[in-house]
C-alpha cells in the first residue's frame, strides 16, 4: 500500500447536496453483490481461517444431507454429495484459495467468487453436456460457502460500517433505498445522472451523492478520511488538518441551518408580498406520506405509481393497486393527490416481460403510449384509481402526452371505465380531474389545445429538458449539455405557463429544478403557482418563497428571458440567489 500524505482532490458531478466526512466503503456490485475489500496484512491469517470455517460449515451441511439421503436410500443423491464433499477438499478450493487470499490480501468471498467464475468459464467450454452439467455441483457448493462467508460480512448497504462514504461503479435504486442512513453518510458512483431514479431516491433520503467519479485510483486509501462536498462535486481523499477543520465547521453550520428551516413547517408558502404558492410533494411510496406531513406539504403533487410497486415482476393487479391507492388516499385525509399512471419504459422500467427491449427507449413505447397499447393494464389502473378516489381528493395525470389525439383517446378510455364502474359500485364519481404531464416539446407547443381538454398540467422538467435539448440525461459524457437554464427550456416553460394561466387551469412544475431554491424566483416570475418536490426539500423551498417578492421574481424572469445562453441564465440566478441569501452556504459555494 502506498503511503501518500497529500490530499487527493477529485471532481465529480454533484447530484445531491450536502457535506459528508467519513471513511470510504467500496461497494463492488457483482451479480450476487459479493463485497470486495482489502485485508490488512496482519489480518490475512484470520481471513484464511474465516474461509476455512465457512468451508467446514458447508461440508457439515453436506455430510448431514448425505446421511439423510442415505437413510432414504437415494443412491444417486448420495453419490453426488459424495463428489461434492471431494470437491470441497479439492486443492483448488482449499490450498489455492488460501494462498490467493494471502498473496492478494483480499477478502475470502471475492477470491472465492472469482475462482468459481473461472471454473464456470472452463466448464462452459466443455462440449460434452454430461461434464458441463457438473458445474451445477460446484454452484451448489459455492452457494453454501458464500452464504456462510457472507454471514459475517456485508452483502447489502443496509449493513455497512458506521460513517461510511459508499463508492460504487453504479448504484441501483434498491442499493440506495436499502442503505442505512445512520451508517451511510454519502454516495459516490461512476455512472448515473442527476435525474436517474437512484438520484431521486438519494435526494428523497437526503443523502449527499456525487457521480462521475472512478474509485479505482483511490481504492488503496481505504483507511483514509474522505470529505465529500455534494455542493461542488468535490471529493477530498486524505484531507490535511486544515481542510478537515474547514469542512467540519461547514458541516456544523449546515446542520444548524437545516434545524432552523424545520421551524417553517407551519407557516404558509407565500411570498413576502402575500402571493400564495402551492407546495406539494412528489411521492413514490406510502412511507413518504409521513414525511410530507412532517415537512408541511400541502398535498401530493405527483404520485409516481410505478415506483409504488418496486419489486413486482408483473404489472400489479387492480386489487393490489386499489389497496395501495386507497391507503394513500386515506392517509392524505382529504388533501389533494395527483396519481400519475404508470410511467414505464426508459429508465423507469417495471421489469416486465411485456416491455420488449427497444433500440431507443426514450423515444419508444413508454408511458401513455404503452398504456394505450396495453388497454387491459391501463383500464385496470384507471379502475383502481377511480375506486380509490371515492375516499378523497384524487386527480389522475398522464405521462408523456405528445398530441391532442392521445389526450382525447385517454379521455375516451376513462369514460368507458367510468361507465363500467358505475354499474358495479355505488359511489364512483362521475367526473375526475385529469391532467397532462407536459414533458414533450410538441405538447408544450400545443398546450393551448391541451388546456381546453384537461383540468390541470404539470411540467415534468427532467424529461422536458432531455427531449428539448436532445440530451440523454443518463449519459455521463453529456452531463454538461443537460442544461435546465437553456433559453430554449426557459422559453418552453414560459409558453406552457402562459397558456395554462390564460385558460385558467393550474400548472405546476415537478422536476428537479423545482427543488433547487436558486430556481424558485425564476419559476415564480415565469408565472408558476405551484411546485411539487421531494418532501425533504419543502422547508428549504418554503423559506425561499417566503423571502421572495413576486415583483422581484417577475423582474428576474424578464431579465433571464433576455439572455442568450444557458450559462448566462445560470450565472444570473446563482448571483441573484447569492445576493438574496448570502448566508446560505448550502447553495452559495
Partner 1 sequence: MKLTCRVKVKNALGLHTRPATLIVKILQDCRSNVTFTYKNVTINAKSILSILMLALRKNSTIIIGVEGVDARETMNKLVEGFNSRFGEA
Distance in Å from the first CA to the final CA of the chain? 35
- Judge contact between 381 and 371, C-beta under 8 A: yes
- Cα–Cα distance for residue pair 458/397, rounded to 1 Å: 8
Contact mark string toward partner 1, 318..347, x via CB under 8 A: ------------------------------
Q: Does 122 bind partner 1 (CB under 8 A)?
A: yes
Rank residues 93 and 279 by Cβ distance to partner 1 and give the closer one.
Answer: 93
Residue of 197, 298, 436, 486 with catalytic role = 197
- Cα–Cα distance for residue pair 320/333, rounded to 1 Å: 21
| Beta carbon of residue 172, minimum distance to partner 1 (angstroms, whole number) | 33
Stretch that binds partner 1, among 54-62, 119-127, 249-257, 370-378 (CB under 8 A): 119-127
Number of residues that bind partner 1 (CB under 8 A): 22
- Cα–Cα distance for residue pair 303/300, rounded to 1 Å: 6
- For the record, the C-alpha cell of 287 comes out as 412511507
- Cα–Cα distance for residue pair 320/324, rounded to 1 Å: 6
Rank residues 80 and 328 by Cβ distance to partner 1 and give the closer one.
Answer: 80
Q: Does 155 bind partner 1 (CB under 8 A)?
A: no
Helical (H) or strand (E) element with 509: strand 507-509
Query: Which residue in 33, 543, 108 sits closest to 295, CA to CA?
Result: 543
Rank residues 142 and 410 by Cβ distance to partner 1 and give the closer one.
Answer: 142
Stretch that binds partner 1, among 116-124, 355-363, 468-476, 576-584 (CB under 8 A): 116-124
Rank residues 62 and 213 by Cβ distance to partner 1 and give the closer one.
Answer: 62
Beta strands in 334-432 (DSSP E): 336-340, 393-398
Query: Which residue in 62, 54, 57, 101 sits closest to 84, CA to CA?
Result: 62
Rank residues 83 and 259 by Cβ distance to partner 1 and give the closer one.
Answer: 83
| Beta carbon of residue 98, minimum distance to partner 1 (angstroms, whole number) | 14
| Beta carbon of residue 85, minimum distance to partner 1 (angstroms, whole number) | 9
Find the radius of gyration of the CA atoms of the chain.
28
Q: Does 404 bind partner 1 (CB under 8 A)?
A: no
| Beta carbon of residue 45, minimum distance to partner 1 (angstroms, whole number) | 24
- Judge contact between 497 and 526, C-beta under 8 A: yes
Residue 447 appears among annotated catalytic residues: no
Give per-residue burial for 155-174: e unless 16+ CB within 10 Å, then b: bebeebeebbbbbbeebbbe
- For the record, the C-alpha cell of 524 comes out as 415564480
| Beta carbon of residue 92, minimum distance to partner 1 (angstroms, whole number) | 5
| Beta carbon of residue 48, minimum distance to partner 1 (angstroms, whole number) | 19
List 9, 29, 123, 310, residue binding partner 1 (CB under 8 A): 123
| Beta carbon of residue 67, minimum distance to partner 1 (angstroms, whole number) | 17
Stretch that binds partner 1, among 31-39, 122-130, 206-214, 317-325 (CB under 8 A): 122-130
Rank residues 82 and 568 by Cβ distance to partner 1 and give the closer one.
Answer: 82
Q: Which of residues 210-229 bind partner 1 (CB under 8 A)?
A: none
- Cα–Cα distance for residue pair 560/479, rounded to 1 Å: 22
Helices (H) and strands (E) in the chain, counts: 22, 16
- Cα–Cα distance for residue pair 129/310, rounded to 1 Å: 38
Q: Which of residues 39-98 bind partner 1 (CB under 8 A)?
A: 79-80, 82-83, 86-87, 89-93
| Beta carbon of residue 123, minimum distance to partner 1 (angstroms, whole number) | 7
Cell 421489469, residue?
Answer: 351
- Judge contact between 48 and 78, C-beta under 8 A: no
Contact mark string toward partner 1, 125..154, x via CB under 8 A: -xxx-xx--x--xx----------------
Q: Does 191 bind partner 1 (CB under 8 A)?
A: no
Residue of 16, 436, 454, 510 with catalytic role = 510
Stretch that binds partner 1, among 115-123, 285-293, 371-379, 439-447 (CB under 8 A): 115-123
Q: Does 455 bind partner 1 (CB under 8 A)?
A: no
- Cα–Cα distance for residue pair 456/507, rounded to 1 Å: 6
| Beta carbon of residue 87, minimum distance to partner 1 (angstroms, whole number) | 5
- Judge contact between 214 and 192, C-beta under 8 A: no
C-alpha angle 107/113/115, rounded to 5°? 105
Residue 293 appears among annotated catalytic residues: no
Q: Which residues pair with 187 in a beta bridge?
A: 166, 209
| Beta carbon of residue 80, minimum distance to partner 1 (angstroms, whole number) | 7
List 26, 119, 295, 322, residue binding partner 1 (CB under 8 A): 119
**Alpha-carbon distances of 106 from 47, 114, 293, rounded to whole Å:** 9, 11, 47
Rank residues 63 and 246 by Cβ distance to partner 1 and give the closer one.
Answer: 63
SS3 483: coil
Phi, psi values for residue 398, rounded to 5°: -115, 125
Cell 458447508, residue?
Answer: 58
| Beta carbon of residue 68, minimum distance to partner 1 (angstroms, whole number) | 19
Query: Which residue in 70, 69, 100, 90 sits closest to 134, CA to CA?
Result: 90
Helical (H) or strand (E) element with 385: helix 375-388
Phi, psi values for residue 460, rounded to 5°: -90, 90
Rank residues 124 and 426 by Cβ distance to partner 1 and give the closer one.
Answer: 124
Rank residues 43 and 132 by Cβ distance to partner 1 and give the closer one.
Answer: 132
Rank residues 123 and 349 by Cβ distance to partner 1 and give the closer one.
Answer: 123
Rank residues 146 and 308 by Cβ distance to partner 1 and give the closer one.
Answer: 146
Cell 471513511, residue?
Answer: 23
Residues that bind partner 1 (CB under 8 A): 79-80, 82-83, 86-87, 89-93, 119, 122-123, 126-128, 130-131, 134, 137-138
Residues noted as catalytic: 197, 510
Amino acid at each position: 500500500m502506498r503511503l501518500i500524505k497529500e490530499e487527493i482532490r477529485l471532481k465529480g458531478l454533484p447530484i445531491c447536496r450536502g457535506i459528508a466526512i467519513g471513511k470510504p466503503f467500496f461497494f463492488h456490485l457483482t451479480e450476487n453483490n459479493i463485497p470486495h475489500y482489502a485485508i490488512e496484512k496482519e489480518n490475512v491469517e484470520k481471513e484464511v481461517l474465516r474461509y476455512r470455517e465457512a468451508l467446514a460449515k458447508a461440508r457439515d451441511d453436506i455430510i448431514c444431507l448425505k446421511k439423510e439421503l442415505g437413510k432414504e436410500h437415494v443412491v444417486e443423491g448420495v453419490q453426488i454429495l459424495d463428489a461434492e464433499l471431494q470437491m470441497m477438499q479439492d486443492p483448488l478450493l482449499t490450498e489455492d484459495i488460501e494462498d490467493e487470499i494471502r498473496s492478494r490480501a483480499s477478502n475470502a468471498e471475492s477470491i472465492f467468487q472469482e475462482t468459481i467464475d473461472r471454473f464456470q468459464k472452463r466448464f462452459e467450454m466443455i462440449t460434452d453436456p454430461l461434464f458441463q452439467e457438473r458445474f451445477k455441483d460446484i454452484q451448489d457448493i459455492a452457494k453454501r460457502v458464500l452464504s456462510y462467508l457472507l454471514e459475517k460480512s456485508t452483502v447489502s448497504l443496509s449493513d455497512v460500517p458506521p460513517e461510511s462514504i459508499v463508492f460504487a461503479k453504479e448504484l441501483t435504486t434498491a442499493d440506495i433505498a436499502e442503505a442505512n442512513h445512520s451508517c451511510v453518510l454519502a454516495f459516490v458512483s461512476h455512472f448515473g445522472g442527476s435525474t436517474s431514479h437512484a438520484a431521486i431516491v438519494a435526494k428523497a433520503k437526503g443523502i449527499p451523492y456525487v457521480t462521475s467519479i472512478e474509485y479505482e485510483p483511490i481504492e488503496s486509501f481505504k483507511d483514509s478520511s474522505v470529505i465529500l462536498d455534494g455542493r461542488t462535486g468535490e471529493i477530498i481523499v486524505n484531507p490535511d488538518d486544515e481542510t478537515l477543520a474547514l469542512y467540519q465547521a461547514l458541516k456544523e453550520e449546515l446542520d444548524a441551518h437545516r434545524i432552523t428551516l424545520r421551524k417553517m413547517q407551519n407557516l404558509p408558502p407565500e411570498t413576502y408580498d402575500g402571493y400564495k404558492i402551492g407546495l406539494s410533494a412528489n411521492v413514490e411510496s406510502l412511507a413518504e406520506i409521513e414525511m410530507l406531513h412532517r415537512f408541511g406539504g400541502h398535498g401530493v403533487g405527483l404520485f409516481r405509481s410505478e415506483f409504488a410497486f418496486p419489486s413486482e415482476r408483473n404489472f400489479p393487479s387492480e386489487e393490489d393497486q386499489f389497496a395501495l391507492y386507497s391507503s394513500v388516499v386515506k392517509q392524505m385525509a382529504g388533501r389533494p393527490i395527483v396519481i400519475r399512471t404508470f410511467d414505464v419504459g426508459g429508465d423507469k422500467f417495471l421489469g416486465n416481460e411485456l416491455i420488449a427491449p427497444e433500440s431507443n427507449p426514450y423515444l419508444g413505447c413508454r408511458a401513455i403510449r404503452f398504456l394505450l397499447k396495453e388497454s387491459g393494464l391501463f383500464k385496470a389502473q384507471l379502475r383502481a384509481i377511480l375506486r380509490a378516489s371515492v375516499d378523497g381528493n384524487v386527480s389522475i395525470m398522464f405521462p408523456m402526452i405528445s398530441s391532442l389525439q392521445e389526450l382525447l383517446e385517454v379521455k375516451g378510455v376513462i369514460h368507458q371505465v367510468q361507465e363500467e364502474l358505475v354499474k358495479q359500485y355505488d359511489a364512483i364519481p362521475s367526473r375526475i380531474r385529469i391532467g397532462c404531464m407536459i414533458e414533450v416539446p410538441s405538447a408544450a407547443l400545443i398546450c393551448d389545445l391541451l388546456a381546453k381538454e384537461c383540468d390541470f398540467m404539470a411540467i415534468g422538467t427532467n424529461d422536458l429538458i432531455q427531449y428539448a435539448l436532445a440530451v440523454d440525461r443518463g449519459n455521463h459524457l453529456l452531463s454538461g449539455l443537460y442544461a435546465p437554464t437553456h433559453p430554449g427550456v426557459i422559453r418552453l416553460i414560459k409558453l406552457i405557463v402562459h397558456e395554462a394561466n390564460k385558460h385558467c387551469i393550474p400548472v405546476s412544475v415537478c422536476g428537479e429544478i423545482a427543488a433547487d431554491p436558486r430556481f424558485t424566483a425564476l419559476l415564480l416570475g415565469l408565472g408558476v403557482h405551484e411546485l411539487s418536490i421531494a418532501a425533504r426539500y419543502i422547508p428549504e423551498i418554503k423559506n425561499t418563497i417566503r423571502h421572495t417578492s413576486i415583483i422581484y421574481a417577475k423582474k428576474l424572469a424578464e431579465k433571464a428571458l433576455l439572455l442568450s445562453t444557458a450559462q448566462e441564465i445560470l450565472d444570473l440566478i446563482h448571483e441573484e440567489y447569492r445576493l438574496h441569501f448570502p448566508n446560505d452556504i448550502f447553495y452559495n459555494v
